Structure 1
Amino acid sequence: MLHIAGAVLFLGNIIVTGLWMASAERTGSTAVLKFGAHAVNWMDVFFTAPGVILILVSGLPLASQWGGITRVPWILAALLLFVLSGVVWVGLLIPDQNRMIRLSDPVLSDESLPSAFFRCLHRWYVWGVVATVLPLISLFLMVLKPKLW
């Protein structure tokens, strides 16, 4: 049950966060985008990170019930995709999130955000899709348990 709760927290937050930021951008409001940039980091702290912890803390013992991570191809593939998603998150998304905050903080709510903010946001969208699709594939592997090799 902890594994499923972790997956719901993790996947739910990473999917909703991207949609939320896209909606914030569509408003054209500097104040909404500034709020969104800060909120994304907080949601990672309260939802994404606890989801990751629950997935790993419960998933590793569950994998041992199947014979271990390296003995079951779909578990190994799912874990590798999950780890790769984490690399994208830590290496690309978090730095972009922090950069968006730094770029937006000095801007007053009635001023326009700098173009560098939007370049960063659009790069964040692209890598966010990658970081979302990888664990979704992982989820499908966990549910379907296909014979891979």
Structure 2
Amino acid sequence: MYEFFKGVHIFGLILMAGNVTVTAFWKVFADRTCKTQIVAFAQWLVTVTDFSFTLTGGFLMVLGGYGAAFAGHISLFSTPWLVYGQLMLAVSGAIWVGILVPIQIRQASAAQDFAIIGDVPDSYKKDSRTWLIWGLISTVPLTLGMYFMVAKPF
């Protein structure tokens, strides 16, 4: 059972980390075109892929991680690398839920409007910069969490 849950955990990480990385990359390039239909379509894809891959990946990562810890008789709260890994995932998740998702919702609404009526507004561009900065910041604890899980430095 331990190996099964560990596999689920790793698969979830691949889904989540892969989507976080790729989404930021292609959204930046779509936004730089300033072509309303391209920007609107990219913003729609950000929403779809975040809820399809990031959320699903995060769920599988947590399910697999806790399942592996349970099956492997590993203490979640007294094993230092697990504590730090969980803390880093919580920090990254808090940034995603508290900052990134509200921006994405606001941008998705704006994109529906400007795809039809004209130019990409400055407010959307400002939100895009904020989304990118906080998105990059949120990958730092995610990457640290991966390090703690793999290297087990403590």
Report the TM-score range of the alignment, normalised by the length of the smaller protein: over 0.9
Please report how far the alpha carbon of residue 106 of structure 1 lies from its aligned counterpart in structure 2 after TM superposition: 1.3
Aligned counterpart, 2:99: 92
Q: Determine the C-alpha separation between the residues in 2 that align with 1:132 and 1:52.
A: 13
Matches within 5 A, 1:4-23: 4-23=10-29
Secondary structure of residue in 2 paired with 1:98: helix
For the 8 Å contact 2:12–2:59, the answer to whether it is kept is yes
SS of 1:112 mapped into structure 2: coil
- Cα shift at 1:51: 0.4
Query: In the alignment, which of 73, 89, 106 is matched to residue 82 of structure 1?
Result: 89
Indicate the residue corresponding to 1:126 in structure 2: 133
Partner of 1:53: 59
> Distance in 1 between the 2:114 and 2:50 partners?
24
Determine helix, strand or coil for the equivalent of 2:113. Answer: coil
User: Which of 61, 66, 69 in structure 2 is aligned with 1:63?
Assistant: 69
Query: What is the aligned-residue RMSD (CA, Å)?
Result: 1.4
What is the identity, as a one-letter code, of the residue corresponding to 1:127? W
- The answer to whether the 8 Å contact 1:6/1:54 transfers is yes
Query: For structure 1, which runs of at least 5 residues remain unmatched after alignment?
Result: none
CA distance in 1, matches of 2:150, 2:77: 18
Does the 8 Å contact 2:69/2:75 carry over to 1?
A: yes
Conservation of the 8 A alpha-carbon contact between 1:9 and 1:48: yes
Q: CA deviation at 1:58?
A: 0.9
1:33 to 34, 39, 56: 39
Task: Write the distance in 2 (CA, Å) between the matches of 1:73 and 1:5.
Answer: 23
- What's 1:111 paired with? 118
TM-score, L = length of structure 2:
0.90
Q: Distance in 1 between matches of 2:61 and 2:115?
A: 40
Taking only the aligned residue pairs, the percentage that are identical comes to 30
The residue identity in structure 2 corresponding to 1:105 is: Q
Which structure 2 segments of 5+ residues have no match?
1-6
Residues of 1 paired with 2:116 and 2:87: CA distance? Answer: 42
- 1:66 Cα deviation (Å)? 5.6
Question: How far apart are the structure 2 equivalents of 1:66 and 1:27?
Answer: 52
